[in-house]
Amino acid sequence: MKKKSTFLMITATLGFAFLYAPIVSLVVYSFNASKLVTVWGGFSTKWYGELLDNDQILDAAFISLKIAVISATLAVVLGTIAGFCLSRFKRFRGRMALSGMVTAPLVMPEVITGLSLLLLFVAMEGLLGWPSGRGTLTVIIAHVTFCMAYVAVIVQSRLSSMDESLEEAAMDLGAKPGSLFFLVTLPLIMPAIVSGWLLSFTLSLDDLVIASFVSGPGNSTLPMVIFSKIRLGVSPEINALATLMIAAIALGVIATVFQMHRLKKNAV
Amino acid sequence: MTTSSGAAWIASPTLKKVAQGIKKKFNWGRALVISIPTIWLAIFFLVPFLVVFKISLSTTEIAQPPYSALFAWDAEEAIAVLRLNLGNYLFLFEDTLYIDAYWSSIKIAAISTALTLVIAYPMAYAIARSHPKYRMILLALVILPFWTSFLLRVYAWMGFLKKDGVINGFLLNVGIIDQPLAIMNTDTAVYIGIIYTYLPFMILPLYTALEKLDGTLLEAAADLGATAWKTFFFVTLPLSVPGIVAGCMLVFIPAVGEFVIPALLGGSDTLMIGRVLWDEFFLNRDWPMASAVAIVMLLFLVLPIMLFRNTQGTKGENF
Residue in chain B closest to A160 (alpha carbons) equals B314
Considering CB atoms only, which of B34, B46, B315 is closest to A92? Answer: B34
B78 to chain A, closest Cα gap in Å = 22
Q: Assign residue A70 the CATH number of its domain.
A: 1.10.3720.10
Number of CB atoms found within 10 A of residue B125's CB: 23
| CB < 8 Å & 24+ apart, contacts of B73-82 | none
A18 lies within 8 A of chain B by CB: yes
Cα B252 off chain centre by: 7
Q: Give contacts of A257 with chain B, Cβ < 8 Å.
A: 140
For residues B206-212, average pLDDT: 89
Quick check: B262 and B119 in contact, CB under 8 A?
no
Residue in chain B closest to A189 (alpha carbons) equals B317
Task: Provide ipTM, 2 decimals.
Answer: 0.85
Match domain B95-318 to its CATH number in 3.40.50.1100, 1.10.3720.10, 3.30.565.10, 3.40.605.10.
1.10.3720.10
Asked if residue A194 is part of any domain, the answer here is: yes
Instruction: Note the pLDDT of residue A167.
Output: 84
Tell me if A106 and B250 make a contact (CB, 8 A cut-off): yes
Instruction: Note the pLDDT of residue B319.
Output: 41
Q: What confidence category does residue B316 fall into, taking pLDDT thresholds of 50, 70 and 90?
A: very low
Express each pLDDT in B5-48 by its tens digit: 444 445 566 666 665 655 555 677 888 888 999 999 999 999 99
Express each pLDDT in A146-183 by its tens digit: 999 999 989 988 888 887 888 888 888 888 888 888 88
Tell me if A78 and B38 make a contact (CB, 8 A cut-off): no
Asked if residue A43 is part of any domain, the answer here is: no
For residues B150-163, average pLDDT: 86
Instruction: Note the pLDDT of residue A236.
Output: 83
Q: Give the dihedral sign, CA B95/B101/B102/B107.
A: positive
Asked if residue A240 is part of any domain, the answer here is: yes
For residues A231-252, average pLDDT: 83
A92 lies within 8 A of chain B by CB: yes
- For residue A209, give its domain range: 54-267
Asked if residue A34 is part of any domain, the answer here is: no
**Which of A104, A91, A94, A196 lies closest to A148, judged by CA?**
A196
Tell me if A253 and B41 make a contact (CB, 8 A cut-off): no
φ and ψ at B79, to 5 degrees?
A: -135, 160
Express each pLDDT in A37-46 by its tens digit: 667 778 888 8
Considering CB atoms only, which of A9, A122, A234 is closest to B159? Answer: A234
How many folded domains does chain A comprise? 1
Asked if residue A233 is part of any domain, the answer here is: yes
**Which of B250, B258, B257, B261 lies closest to B318, judged by CA?**
B250
Asked if residue A183 is part of any domain, the answer here is: yes
Tell me if B150 and A206 make a contact (CB, 8 A cut-off): yes
Residue in chain A closest to B274 (alpha carbons) equals A111
Asked if residue A78 is part of any domain, the answer here is: yes
Strands (E) across chain A are located at none
Tell me if B45 and A145 make a contact (CB, 8 A cut-off): yes
Residue in chain A closest to B52 (alpha carbons) equals A116
B224 to chain A, closest Cα gap in Å = 16
Considering CB atoms only, which of B30, B153, B162 is closest to A23? Answer: B153
B151 to chain A, closest Cα gap in Å = 7
Classify A131 in phi/psi space as left (phi over 0), alpha (psi -120 to 50) or beta: beta
Residue in chain B closest to A140 (alpha carbons) equals B44
B143 to chain A, closest Cα gap in Å = 10
A-B Cβ pairs (cutoff 8 Å, strict): 265
Considering CB atoms only, which of A97, A104, A126 is closest to B305? Answer: A104
Considering CB atoms only, which of A115, A153, A245 is closest to B152? Answer: A245
Tell me if A7 and B151 make a contact (CB, 8 A cut-off): no
Q: What confidence category does residue A77 fall into, taking pLDDT thresholds of 50, 70 and 90?
A: very high
**B278 compared with B78, residue with greater pLDDT:** B278
Burial class (CB in 10 A: 0-12, 13-18, 19+), A2: exposed
Cα A62 off chain centre by: 17
Express each pLDDT in B214-238 by its tens digit: 778 888 888 888 888 888 888 888 8
For chain A, what percent of residues have pLDDT higher than 70?
Answer: 96
Residue in chain B closest to A3 (alpha carbons) equals B228
Asked if residue A5 is part of any domain, the answer here is: no
Distances (CA, A) of A132 to A214, A217, B286: 12, 13, 22
Tell me if B319 and A150 make a contact (CB, 8 A cut-off): yes
How is chain B split into domains, by residue range? 15-82, 95-318
